[in-house]
Amino acid sequence: MRPKRAPEEEQQVSEPQEAGYDVVILGAGSGGYACALRASQLGLRVALVDAAELGGTCLHRGCIPTKALLHAAEVADEARQAARVGVQTTFDGVDGPGLLAYQQSVVDRLYQGLQGLVAAAGVDWLPGRGHLVAADTVAVRGEQGTQLVRGRHVVIATGSQVRTLDGVALGARIVSSDQALRLERVPTRALVLGGGVIGVEFASIWSSLGAQVTIVEALDSLLPAEDPAISKGLVRALKKRGISVRTGARVASAHEDDDAAHLVLEDGTTLDGDLLLVAVGRGPVTADLGLAEAGVELDEAGFVRTDERLQTTAPGVYAVGDVVRGLQLAHRGFRHGIVVAERIAGLDPAPVPEENIPRVTYCDPQVASVGLTEPAAREQFGDEIDTVEQSLAGNGKSQILGTSGMVKMVRRRGGPIVGVHLLGARMGEQIGEAQMLVNWEAYPQDVAPLVHAHPTQNESLGEAALALAGTPLHSHN
């Protein structure tokens, strides 16, 4: 349960602990709880501080609830398209409260399990809002007053929060992703402002559940951090599904009334919908934590400045996850937390290179990637690269699933594979092998002899490696 805060005038401040902790962690999301569990495993005394639920945004307002909705959307698509495979069924609509109940049941089971893990690890859970009063002291304000907690090391793991744009105020019909996860009905006409991961996933969900969806993105492509071939393929696939995509479209303003939400573009066009989702990214939660006073520097956007070891500018203070500029991914924060715990314990874990962290967007079709895009590889290696695009058209399992897409591999000429980029239904499940190929610097000719089970979409990775090694079998010269 979310703890209630006591009024400030009723707060009593305790004396700081004499013994203190080895590690005090502010934030109990993916990075924070991973740091806590690993530090405890290494014999350190740990306090975990958060005013919200254990599990953070990922478990309660991000990864898990959105993927539950995406699974429901996949079920709706299967029901609607069952005749394609000779199965007679109908899609009669969406039970909004039932959908939310299913989503919450998944969250609740994971939440209960995580609470058990933290308790079993001997981590001290301190519910309340943490604030640094010194580099080694955190004031935790909770129901019973304010407690001062000392730690040899402090870890900032407070995560991120939704952002909006100037001139776009949230309301009843103009909503954030947090609000969208609690809707009890599917919008009839949905506008999605932002073509990044969050925007594309919600567009996919609502389209599958019966909405007319328009995505509006200021840049020239959706998922602009992905390889251009993948981004273009995704736009084609979404349009084929009936989703309208407007790229290069800048917003002037937005407003709502009792009947609709209205999005005004700089070219004078007005788009109307019964709901407007603002999905323009997330900002770090670093305000009002006492960071500057403790010597922790922030950049111009509010992210914590760290070195490659995730050490901040204050001795003994680290930062992990979404408060550190870079990919805002739960598994990045999770790894950050483990790395920091090991460093505090005196180990020497390898740093976490951003480009080698796997990325998945769980829309339909899915986008998954790891390593360098073709433009990034050309910037680093010039023309000394080779690429291959392996269509899923010849992949047996992809034909069974009725999906199109591709596997794109990038290698340094005469060297290892430096990037793998995937587009297609369920292709996120293939990112495990892909990240091993990139992180272990595999050569295409190393991968070519490996046997990939048939029929699986996993075969498409083997086929791409064969092609990149110069021995393609299922492609035309």
Catalytic residue numbers, as ranges:
454
CA angle centred on 246, ends 243 and 249, rounded to 5°: 155
Contact 322, 284 (CB under 8 A): yes
First-to-last alpha carbon distance for the chain, in angstroms, is 61
Neighbours of 316 (CB within 10 A): 17
Please give the full DSSP string across 5-20, using - where no structure is assigned.
PPPGGG--BPPPPSS-
Neighbours of 89 (CB within 10 A): 11
CA distance 241 to 243: 6
For residue 241, what are its two tokens? 């599904």
Question: Given the DSSP bridges, would you call strands 189-193 and 212-217 parallel, antiparallel or unpaired?
Answer: parallel
Extract long-range pairs of 297-306: CB within 8 Å, 24+ residues apart: 299/325, 301/325, 304/156
- Enclosing H/E stretch for 439: helix 431-439
For residue 19, what are its two tokens? 């013994």
Q: How would you class 103 by CB atoms within 10 Å of its CB: exposed for 0-12, middle for 13-18, buried for 19 or more?
A: buried
